[in-house]
Amino acid sequence: MFETINEVAAFLRSKGITSPDTGIVLGTGLGKLVNEIEIEVSLDYADIPNFPVSTVESHHGKLIYGNLLGHKVLAMQGRFHIYEGYSLQQVTLPIRVMKVLGVKWLLLSNAAGAINKTYGKGDLMLLDDHINLLPANPLTGKNIDELGPRFPDMSCPYSPVLNNLMTNSAHDLNITLHHGVYAVVAGPNLEARAEYRYLGMIGADVVGMSTVPEVIIANHMGLPCAAVSVITDLCDPDNLVPARLEDILETAAKAEVQLIRLFKNVIQNL
């Protein structure tokens, strides 16, 4: 795996991706931030050796490098998931590569369903903590000592510095930003009513199918990260309405305007 990470990093350097300082992962329906970037390099995932390929239609599957508000950013326009059939080592490979390339900060986004009944469609939630309900861990197997310790601490998985910046930026921009707990499940099916009740009982505010593996890897490597969920559907087990992908993408697209404003403000103040 370490050889693979370095091979991918070497390939990207050969394409002109040389000095990124901020990494960005754009989730379901949240890819338009790349329109704000002065693009220097754009690569399809399929053209990057050893990279997985996005199989979800709402994920564009491009790696974008360029300038954003005076910062060199490396943005994933679409990510990978365990439900696509990839191992968690494959899912998190891009985060490993970002760190090796020199990324100092990592911002992630995702679409999520609201367990917390005070949240509404289109709201944003800053991840304060998470609950990992995946059947595997991206650190399973031989530890890569060059990248991090065997038993990384997860007492504070989301950077207080970045979360404070997120909170202050949201306040300055008059954006409502909830703080809560994200539960990750394998998917791809959405949850049953009893599962939504269970998630609420164990302390989850939202539920999704991504982000946590990437955060685990970021913490393993000492890469400060922050993540924001866009609430795309409501998961009230007593008033459950079948979720449609079209509605989820429509809600994500509307909320994306505020997410872009928030991310840009944070990046500007890094």
Amino acid at 243: A
Cβ neighbours of 237 (radius 10 Å):
16
49 backbone φψ class: left, alpha, beta (φ>0; ψ -120 to 50): beta
Measuring CA to CA, which residue among 94, 126, 115 is closest to residue 227? 126
pLDDT of 61: 86
Q: What's the pLDDT at 57?
A: 59
Residue 137 pLDDT more than 60?
yes
Q: What is the mean pLDDT of the chain?
A: 94
The reported pTM is: 0.95
Tokens 């990470």 label which residue? 5
Cis peptide before 49 (omega within 30 of 0): no
By the 8 A CB rule, do 213 and 192 touch? no
Q: For the segment 80-119, what is each residue's pLDDT rounded down to a tens digit?
A: 999 989 999 999 999 999 999 999 999 999 999 999 999 9
- How open is the CA angle 209-80-19, to the nearest 5 degrees? 125
Token pair belonging to 176? 């409502």
Q: How far apart are the first and last CA of the chain?
A: 31
Within 8 A by CB and 6+ apart from 75, the residues are 23, 24, 25, 26, 33, 34, 37, 63, 64, 65
Q: In the predicted model, what is the mean pLDDT of residues 245-262?
A: 89
| 162 close to 265: Cβ distance less than 8 angstroms | no
The packing angle between helices 2-14 and 93-101, to 10°, is: 60
- For residue 170, the 8-state DSSP code is H
